[in-house]
Each structure stands twice: as structure tokens, then as C-alpha cells.
Amino acid sequence: MPTTIVWFRQDLRVWDHEPLFRAARRGQVIPIYIFERSLLHHPEACAAQIEFILRCLYALDLDLQKLGGRLILRDGDPVEILPNLIAETQAEGIYAYTDCDRIYSRVRDAKVIKRLTERQMRIRWFDPPASIDDLIAYPKYRDRWYADMNSAITPSPEKVSVPEEVVSDRLPTLMELGHQPDQKFIPAAGTEPARILLKEFFETKAKSYYWQLSYPSAEATTGLSPYIKVGAISIRECVQYAKAFTKDPDPKIRLSSKQLISRLRWGSGFHQRFRYMPQLEVRSLYTVFDEDGWDFDPIHYQKWQQGMTGFPIIDAAARCLLATGGWKELNFRSRAIYSSFLSNLLGMDWRYGALHFMQHLIDGDCAIDHYQWAMQAGVTHCVDKSWTRIYNPGEAAIARCDPEAKFIKRWLPELADIPIEKLGGNLAAFGYPAPMLDYKQSRKERVKQLEKQRSIFREQKNVLPYLARMPDYPIPFPLSPEQIPNWLTEQNPPLFPHALDLESLDLEQAIKLRTWLVAHVEIQPHKANTLKPKNEPPSKAKSSRKAKQQPDSPFRQLSLFESM
């Protein structure tokens, strides 16, 4: 009976898992997960997310046991472990999904391929749904995404037979992996808890999700983002479950289900951008932004991290992230406002913000978070855009996202007795830190800077000359050239899957790539709201306008720091 190794990475499930299903159908299976020190001690490693992964691995092992199998654990370098395991077990080869999560992952997989080839061993790669090698225009990718998501879900294997002689390491603790618990709440792990969240969302939240996404205190999100990140549930399963509600009799539920599906698609789109251009993990999209350099003030950075900026909506977001890992309450709008403050108003490199987020987000996803950080800094979707969304962190942000100050007062209890209408101003008289910057002046300086930088490439049909290239040594930020990690053993390391070779693209291909770097809907700057005391009635004109307002289009909200 043939034996196949199935290498689990970002796919910790037995349902909708094509490599596992195919391997089990052809014979015995060795399902393996390898703890890689280069990932565990990456500068952006998050202790809470690693703890969640440990619990998902425990749940995966239980699911495999129900099928007659078990999970095999190893600790070390896959380049050494996998060929040796093939030799020891006489396995025919390895099945695995491609992994474009980080540059490290692609360098590692290229090394695995090389080592296996040298030893005349085989590996078969499977692309996850809606992850493709060919360069196509974004509108065609959108069609491909829907086609892949509507295709049949791969069932779990009927049986998983693991050779008895293959021994597994025990599941380590977080501390044994070199991390300390940071007291964040860890959600229940595995596929079944993810399915319960999805079901509960449509039972209890779907009527309000579409309208409450911008309000962190509403906790309107599904809570699925940590599960999708580690692959405890597939995006396709989520899409097909949500699709059933797009024809619900309740129009509110129909809108919310379509919005959720759109957000899942946007998340896949960010991953596809990283498949094309992995350099976006460590560089801004256009070279001018990094060449001009960024400001960095360690004291201001620390105040931003700890929630001591003097702007309550920013400080509440900071403390929520540190305390919870952000997976439920720190929604996309809160993350956008918080990030815009660092890059646009303090003028700091967006990569410092992404670093802090990734170190604390339980749902941290390199492609989504890095690209969205760059987007909030104004350095991505700007080739055909003349304005920049820079959030006002004072009264306007509170009025728009936390008009009852529930989020602020939950995370800043020292402001519990401050009237809502005063929260957008200077609160130094109440013993709170004074605002650390002048919004209007900081915004003016940032807009002037962006206008100058963007003028170099704006409206260019061919943007290739202006795009960032992969560095010779793609060192994780913020490591210095003297801190090259041990997995970077050569200049311009081979990657698998391969990145786009920007130098070889012709004009037609350049135009296709450009479609990935622009906004596909017309979005105008948001009109600022104001805070009013609760007992102050709105004017007749405002009341009339409010009564006539229609729900915003689901395609107006492009800020997406989480998958849904």
C-alpha cells in the first residue's frame, strides 16, 4: 500500500483539504506538522497566535483520530526533516498546499524542492482555491474567485491510516517554543468552533452586520478571522454557507451575507497580490516612498503603542489590541484609524505599525495586514487617485465610529465620567494626556508630502519602472543587514511559488498588473460628523437628510484589516 506524507502548514483541518483527501484515497498517510524556529522567532511572531495554533493542532489531531489516524509532530528544519522521513518510511512522496504567507515560506519551499530533487524524491503541490500562478487582470481574477468558491467542497477522508511505526513528538507548550503567555483570551480552537461562530453570526448578527461594521463596540464581526488565518476552516466553506443567505427573505440579511462574501474575496485578493509580489512584505509598493525615507521617533512610537497619544479613539484601539489581540472588537475601521495616525499624522514607516500589529493580533495575516497598513499610509492604491483618506482622530472619528463612546469608555475607564461631546478635544484639564500633535498641521504636511511623491508615477499607464523590486536579501523588517537570519543563505534566493519577474513583463502584462494596484470603485472622501450632547436635538434639515439616507454601498468600504 503506497504511503504519502501530507505536510500541514496554513491548513489545519480535515474538511475541504484536497491533499489529505487524495493521499488517504490512495493509501496510508503520514499527516505532519513541523514547528519551524525561523517562523516561531520571526520578528512578527505573536505569542497569542502561536498558542491558538497549538490548540488548533490539538483539535486537528482529534479530528484525525476520529478518522482512524493521528497527527505527527516534528521540530526543526523541513529541508532536513521531510527527505529523512521519506527515506525512513519509504513514502512515495509529499502532498502539500502552496504557501505564499511570507518570503521565508517561499524560500523554504524552494529549498525543500531542491533537496528532494537531489535525493530523487517527489513532492506534489496543490494551489488553494483562488490562488493562481498566472498573471491575469483583477476583474478576471474576481470571476475566477467566484468560480473556485462555488466549486464542490472536498469531503473529509472516510479513513486516515497512519503507519504504526511512525512516532510523533508530543505537543509542546508555548513556553517550550520560546514564548511567554501574554494573558490574551484565546478562542476555542478547531473547525467545529469556527462552524459554530459562522452559524451564530447568521442567527444573531447578520441583520445588523452591514450597518454596524464601523462601530467597534457593536462587535459585529464574525470572529472567524483567526480560524481562516490558520486554515481551521476553509474560505470556500464560509462562502458557500454565507451564499445560502444571499436569497434570504430579510433584505438586511441579504446585504450582510453579500458584504461578508465580498470581504472574504478581498482577503484572497491581498494574498494573490503577495503571490505576485512577495516584496510587499518588506517594501512599499512604489520605490519613491522608501527612498525618501520615513520619520521615526521612539518616544512617539511608544506612546502610540501603549495608548498614550491624548486622542481617546486612538488610545482605546491601542489598549484593545494589547489586551485582546483584536480579533473581535478591534474591527477594520478602528484598525484603519489607529494605523493612519502612525503613518500619516506621525509620519512613521508603516512597517513599524505592521510589526506591532502582527506581534499582537491573534488573527494577524501577513498579506492582509501588511497591504492594508501600506494602503492606510497612502502608498498603494494611489496611481489613479488624487486624494488621501487621513482620519481625523478627534471629534470626527468618535462621531463616526463610537458616537456613544462605549468603546472608548470600555478601554479608557479614566474617561468614564467625561461628557461625550468633550472627548474629541484636549482633555488635559481632566488629567488625561494632552494631544501629542495638531491634526490639521500634521495632515497638511502629510498631504503635501504624498502629492509630491505620487506625482512621479500618477496616471502612468505602465507603472513597472516605479514598483519596488525584491531586495537581494529580503530581511524581515526591522532587522538590519548585519542581522541576516540563518535561512537567508544566499543573495536573491529562489522562491516557490515564483514571484513575478517585473523586468520581463511586456506592456500588456504591465497593464494587467496595474489592475491590481488601483481602486475598482469610485470612493469620495467621507464628510466629517460632529459630536453633540445627547439632549441636543438635530436641526430639521439634518433630520430630513437623515431620514432620506440609504445604506452605503457595500463596495464603499475598502479598508480591510481582517478577512471579514
Going from N- to C-terminal start, the domains of the chain cover 1-126+470-499, 279-469
Q: What's the CA angle centered on 40, arms 47 and 273, to 5 degrees?
A: 95
Contact 288, 453 (CB under 8 A): yes
192: cell is 467545529
Q: Which of 443, 430, 431, 436 is nearest to 388 (CA)?
A: 443
Distance CA 166, CA 282 (A): 39
SS3 32: strand
| pLDDT of 522 | 58
| pLDDT of 33 | 99
| pLDDT of 285 | 97
Superfamily assignment of 279-469 in CATH? DNA Cyclobutane Dipyrimidine Photolyase, subunit A, domain 3 (1.10.579.10)
DSSP-assigned letters across all residues of 340-373: HIIIIIS-B-HHHHHHHHHHH-TT--HHHHHHHH
In 377-506, alpha helices (H): 395-401, 406-411, 439-454
Q: Which residue positions in the chain have pLDDT lower than 70?
A: 386, 521-530, 532-564
374 Cβ neighbours under 8 A, 6+ residues apart: 280, 284, 285, 350, 380
| pLDDT of 547 | 37
| pLDDT of 524 | 56
267: cell is 482577503
For residue range 316-357, list pLDDT tens digits in order: 999 999 999 998 889 999 999 999 999 999 999 999 999 999
| pLDDT of 533 | 56
DSSP-assigned letters across all residues of 419-451: -GGGTTS--GGGTSPPPSS-HHHHHHHHHHHHH
Superfamily assignment of 1-126+470-499 in CATH? HUPs (3.40.50.620)
